[in-house]
Amino acid sequence: MKDPDGWPLPRTKPGAHLDLHVPGVGSRAYSLCGDPAVQDAWVVAVKLETRSRGGSAWVHALEEGHTVWASMPRCTFPIAESASRHILVAGGIGVTPFLAMAPVLERQGADWALHVLHRGALPCPGDLAPWISAGRAVVHDTAVAPRPAFETLLGAHVPGLQAYCCGPLAMIDAFEHATASWPSGTARAEHFVPPVLAPDPNARPYTLVLSQDGASTDVPAGGSMLVALRALGAKVDASCEGGVCGACKVRWLEGEPVHRDRVLQPEERRTHLMACVAGCASDRLVVEA
């Protein structure tokens, strides 16, 4: 994707994604997989899903010269700047954010390795080829051999080690189980699609207040904060509506939010929430939106 007038595009961070606005469907989030140093184009790689919700089928029907509307990129899956070693684990098309991280880590002279778990055809083979040749990327075809255990791929945690995972839900669950005892923030995952979110048995009603003008509304137990915010006239973006994309990030000022997202880091939750899945454990919640 390029600016129609040829202007340089805003700089992006490795691990960022953007929303493509699919006519008649809504927003769909895709990872940027191009080198962030390249400013004249944004690159995404989209797998055509047999059960497409509309996004991948629409993208695959695009031709050169078509106009697409996209959001500004946002990064909820950043490189850990303080880490001394980085292990990246991709499942199939989940390799896309790592294709943007790889050239950045290489230019930094970082110690890094990429494991690509796939079944059958290798995703993005042309982009992976130089990293495979350099010994940076290792591919594991699970159609030929069982998926290697994360304990084998990652090893035991040592100071300075940062692990990343992007892929299908079952793979991320296994990754999170293997790193459950690691220090907070040293294992990060990014989802393709939001996991099914079960109703919160402890959900309670509360009053939602906008700090800017004092407008308020009562949210019933289990009700959507995103819907309530929009009913108050707040302009809040949304894409996945399942707590994994970061589009509906909102600052909270007072109250006790209940965080049910899979994207915010612990330190971010002290000031922000994801409106699509968040609840509230207090009688009143004041937000800035």
Q: What b/e readout covers 174-196, taking b as 16+ CB neighbours within 10 angstroms? A: bbeebbeebeeebbbbbbbebee
76-191 topology per CATH: Rossmann fold (3.40.50)
Selection from 232, 231, 237 nearest residue 214 by Cα: 232
| pLDDT tens profile 147-187 | 899 999 999 999 999 999 999 999 999 999 999 999 999 99
Q: Where are the domains of the chain?
A: 76-191, 206-288
* 284 — pLDDT class (breaks 50, 70, 90): very high
DSSP string, 227-266: HHHHHTT-----SSSSSSS-TTEEEEEES-EE---SS--T
The pLDDT of residue 50 is above 80: no
pTM reported for the whole predicted model: 0.85
| pLDDT tens profile 224-260 | 999 999 999 999 988 888 999 898 999 999 999 999 9
Quote the percentage of the chain above a pLDDT of 90: 78
Find out if CATH 3.10.20.30 is the number for domain 206-288: yes
The pLDDT of residue 49 is above 80: no
Asked if domains 76-191 and 206-288 share a fold, the reply is no
| pLDDT tens profile 128-141 | 999 999 999 999 99
Of 127 and 196, the structure prediction assigns the larger pLDDT to 127
